[in-house]
Structure 1
Amino acid sequence: MQLISFPSLLLSIIVILLSYLSFSKSTSNMHPLAAARTANAAFNPTYKPVAIFVGGTAGIGQGLVEAFSRHTKGNAHIVIVGRNRAAADTIIAALPKPSDNAQYTHEFVQCDVTLMKNVESVTKELLTRLPKINFLFMSPGFMTMDGRTETPEGIDRKLAVHYYARWKFVDDLLPALRRANSAGEDAKVLSVLAAGKGGEINLDDLGLKKTYSVSNAALAAPTYNDLMLQEFAEKNPGLTFVHSYPGFVKTGLGSSSNSRLVRFGMSALTTLFSPLYTTYQDSGEYMLHGLLGKKEGFFRVGSQGEDIGMKRYFGSEEARKRLWEHTAQATKVSSN
């Protein structure tokens, strides 16, 4: 395992966290959170919505689950995908109760998304019983300052969570998303990561097997998400794909890190920057607004759900094609 020195580690924590700060300005007279809530409250589907939340047991994912359930008054088939069943059960118990328990279901499906075989197992199971999917929310997080740490499938764990598993969830569940679109219903995908915070990527080292560093991984994953969602949009007209940047959100991600220094640093920075934090509940409201407000195609939104266009976009058609080919191969599950 590649390790980095203590000073570099501390500096990386500070630089990465500061790079994730956002200072959005609203041109509306209404507070942006109130505007987001008002817009979300107008969501009143005439169909039975089916929503999958990957990483919905904590943080922004939990905020998205709660916001979506609140605005649908619990009248939706909600599937939380994650590792922590106890946390999911607690969240589900607190959601608004559906008007018809026989028609609407709130459930948990266990999955460690660091392994593509686990993702494939879950998506296959979901496809056997869900005729369509209207919304796919993805927000799993993994905080580490270790060097490249490969899974048994040869993928770095951080990139597996922040990119590869997300690609595979979308690719595997496309049949159900397409069926929703064919029925004239919403068919939308949201990847919550760091839109507008990426960097140039090395097309000769996709997956960072040769040039891995904490900073390289932090810059590559957002760009990978941009290219992934843009290519999915190109291949699937009628569907909506959104990459969002949530800003500085108060979650428990840092406290669950395997690094003692990260846990200490996050605790100190939480105190130092507390006035700049957004709660996970408010972030969930903003991120939901960023998705519901978009129609067909590929979009990038900021911390308040606002459209940020192609700010700090580091892609090209060649990059999209090469990343797609690399990812399709890297996420292919062996039949052995």
Structure 2
Amino acid sequence: MKSRSPDPNVKHSFTPVDGFSLSSVKSLATRTKSVDWLVMTLGMATIQGFTPTNDGYDQKLQLHVYSRFLLATLLTPLLASSPDGRCISVLSAGVHKAYKNHSSDPTLKSTYSVPNAADAAGMYNDVYLEKLAVGNPTVKFSHAAPGFVNTNWGTEMPAVLRVLIRPLQAAFGKSKEKCGSAMVEGMLKAEGGKLNLVDQNGGTEKATTCKGHEEGRDEIWKHLSEAIGPFV
């Protein structure tokens, strides 16, 4: 970051955070004094079953949903005080389906599967980002889908799957630089007061929320708010 900064006097620092711990996420947010852009990419790719963190949520969902939601919620006041406050959650905008058991099993303890986890994570991101956007119109909130990228995605996968995935990524995956540029391009197009969806090319016109997003909005928001309540 220092080598790419146009101002040699700008300082950069790394602060660790445990995405499997909501208290760690809160600690990070508490130590943060100002923020202009919040870019959330924490996540993992596995085929494991429901694997709880100490907070009681599945590991994958905690990274993709609960920790992101808590971080965005705690930092929104700082984003609102910035002249260019923006927040983007890079996950699955426009490519997930509705998770149909959001009322009976919002944490997926009884109905966990890899597809359900993916759909729930995408749907929940749509809901909380939209709610935050409507409630904080001076901040531009986006949900993005990065597409197929040539990274170390799937590190947690079994070795045989990683062996199959890596050549495909090298042959067909976009570079990290191209992906990052597309995400920033879409982020800069975002408007306040609404949920902005960004596709893999940085466009904001094609990506849409899943069917069922609207009908589950209030229940999902209530569940997520109760989940992070003790840390807000």
TM-score (norm 1): 0.64
Larger radius of gyration: 1
Equivalents in 2 of 1:217, 1:141: separation in Å? 12
CA contact (8 A) 2:199 2:206 kept: no
Q: How does 1:289-308 map to 2 (within 5 A)?
A: 289-296=185-192, 297-308=194-205
**Deviations 1:284-330, CA, capped at 9 Å, x for gaps:** 01101110122213111111101145535234445222112111221
Q: CA deviation at 1:273?
A: 5.5
1:116 to 22, 29, 32: 22
The aligned residue for residue 145 of structure 1 is: 47
Equivalents in 1 of 2:209, 2:39: separation in Å? 23
TM-score (norm 2): 0.91
Which AA in structure 1 matches 2:72? Answer: V
Question: Cα distance 1:218–1:163, how it changes in 2: closer, same or farther (>3 A)?
Answer: same
Equivalents in 2 of 1:317, 1:236: separation in Å? 19
**CA RMSD across the alignment:** 2.0
The aligned residue for residue 120 of structure 2 is: 220
1:210 to 95, 98, 110: 110
Equivalents in 2 of 1:135, 1:309: separation in Å? 24
Identity of aligned residues (%): 31
1:187 to 85, 93, 99: 85
Which AA in structure 2 matches 1:146? Answer: Q
**Deviations 1:8-66, CA, capped at 9 Å, x for gaps:** xxxxxxxxxxxxxxxxxxxxxxxxxxxxxxxxxxxxxxxxxxxxxxxxxxxxxxxxxxx
1:198 to 91, 96, 100: 96
Question: Cα distance 1:121–1:247, how it changes in 2: closer, same or farther (>3 A)?
Answer: same
Equivalents in 1 of 2:62, 2:169: separation in Å? 29
2:70 to 165, 168, 173: 168
Q: How does 1:28-107 map to 2 (within 5 A)?
A: 92=1, 94-96=3-5, 98-99=7-8, 101=9, 104-107=10-13
Question: Cα distance 1:318–1:239, how it changes in 2: closer, same or farther (>3 A)?
Answer: same
Q: Does the alignment pair 1:242 with 2:142?
A: yes
Q: CA deviation at 1:105?
A: 2.4
What secondary structure does 2:95 align onto? coil
Q: Count matched residues.
A: 229
Equivalents in 1 of 2:185, 2:162: separation in Å? 28
Equivalents in 1 of 2:39, 2:214: separation in Å? 25
Q: CA deviation at 1:179?
A: 1.0
Q: Does the alignment pair 1:154 with 2:60?
A: no
Which AA in structure 2 matches 1:230? Answer: E
**Deviations 1:169-194, CA, capped at 9 Å, x for gaps:** 110011101111xxxx1111110001
The aligned residue for residue 280 of structure 1 is: 176
Which AA in structure 1 matches 2:167? Answer: T
Which AA in structure 1 matches 2:177? Answer: Q
Q: CA deviation at 1:155?
A: 0.7
CA contact (8 A) 2:97 2:123 kept: yes
CA contact (8 A) 2:98 2:213 kept: no
Equivalents in 2 of 1:283, 1:112: separation in Å? 25
Equivalents in 1 of 2:231, 2:190: separation in Å? 37
Question: Cα distance 1:275–1:284, how it changes in 2: closer, same or farther (>3 A)?
Answer: same
